[in-house]
Copies of this chain bind each other. A is one copy, B any other.
Amino acid sequence: MQTNARQISENVDNLLRPELSRRPAAPTAVLPLKTLCSSCHLRDFCLPCEMSGNDVEYLDNLPFVRSRVKAGQILFHEGDRFQFIYAVRSGTFKSCVTLADGREQVVGFHMNGELMGLDGLAQGKHASSATALEETQVCAIPYTHLLTLVAGKSSMQQVIGKLMSREIVREHSLMMLLGSMNAEERLAAFLLNLSQRLKARGYSASEFHLRMSRAEIGSYLGMTLETVSRTFSAFQQQSLLEVDKRHIRITDMNGLTCALEKHLH
């Protein structure tokens, strides 16, 4: 499972600061091709979002590195030194926190254009780990470079603050979900959220493939994998979904939305 994750992280690091490099970078892990933020097809979802055109071109001076992470590999571990924030270019990640006794909790799923690693700033160490759920590509953005780049540019400083704040808001919703929803509401909220994010990226809102296992969904939603499976079956019986393993087709979007508010009489 968790193979050369640190290796990759080091490779990214080494490319950025070759003078510190001890080992040659693994060519399979790093894509030397430089894509500029200003011309990136993800610029409306990623770091550049909410920036003015000028600011985005300013971002092009950022020495970030694109890197591949294969399914099951870990991009960064809990406790790793915080150096980069990562933007997902393609594929899906999960981020997890681990309890002393080994219990693991999925705290987020991340798809293209979304940022990971912002929780590392607090302690200078990552507070969660990020694992690829499929073949993925990420941009590793060196945080200190980003800081110096935006110094003085208050419009750009704001953007980073906003992105962190957005993460706080996102976690609020998840706490709401975990704290006061039943199994059906949780899964409905999860699917509708996924649907929206896919739609915003130009994919179908009603038909998609889950990149995560029942166990991972369960960990994220605070329930067991069996309950996740049963709830999928229940939705199918209510003719809200068609489920075939990880392939989902939402046949009654309104009905699913109602399942979110079913709790009240």
Residues of chain A at the chain B interface (Cβ within 8 Å):
97, 99-103, 105, 107, 118-123, 127-128, 147-148, 151-152, 154, 157-158, 160-162, 164-169, 171-176, 178-180, 219-222, 261, 263-264
Contacts and interface: CB of A to CB of B under 8 A. Distances in A.
- Which 10 residue pairs spanning A and B have beta carbons closest together? A178-B178, A121-B165, A179-B222, A122-B165, A171-B171, A164-B164, A122-B166, A127-B169, A119-B168, A105-B176
Given A101-B264, A154-B147, A174 B175 contact: yes
Nearest to A103: B180
Contacts of A261: 100-101
Contact of A119 (B122, B158, B172, B174): B172
A216 to B, nearest CB: 12
A121 B161 CA distance: 7
Contact of A180 (B99, B161, B164): B99
A122 to B, nearest CB: 4
A162 B118 CA distance: 9
B222 A178 contact: yes
Contacts of A128: 172
A165 B164 CA distance: 7
A225 B158 CA distance: 40
A175 B123 CA distance: 19
Nearest to A178: B178
Contacts of A173: 97
Contact of A105 (B151, B161, B166, B180): B180
A57 to B, nearest CB: 21
Contacts of A168: 118-119, 122, 127, 164, 167-168, 171
A123 B169 contact: yes
Given A154-B147, A164-B165, A175 B105 contact: yes
A34 B210 CA distance: 56
A177 to B, nearest CB: 9
A51 B97 CA distance: 28
6 contacts: A97-B172, A127-B172, A128-B172, A148-B154, A160-B161, A171-B172
A251 to B, nearest CB: 23
Contacts of A100: 261
A121 B163 CA distance: 9
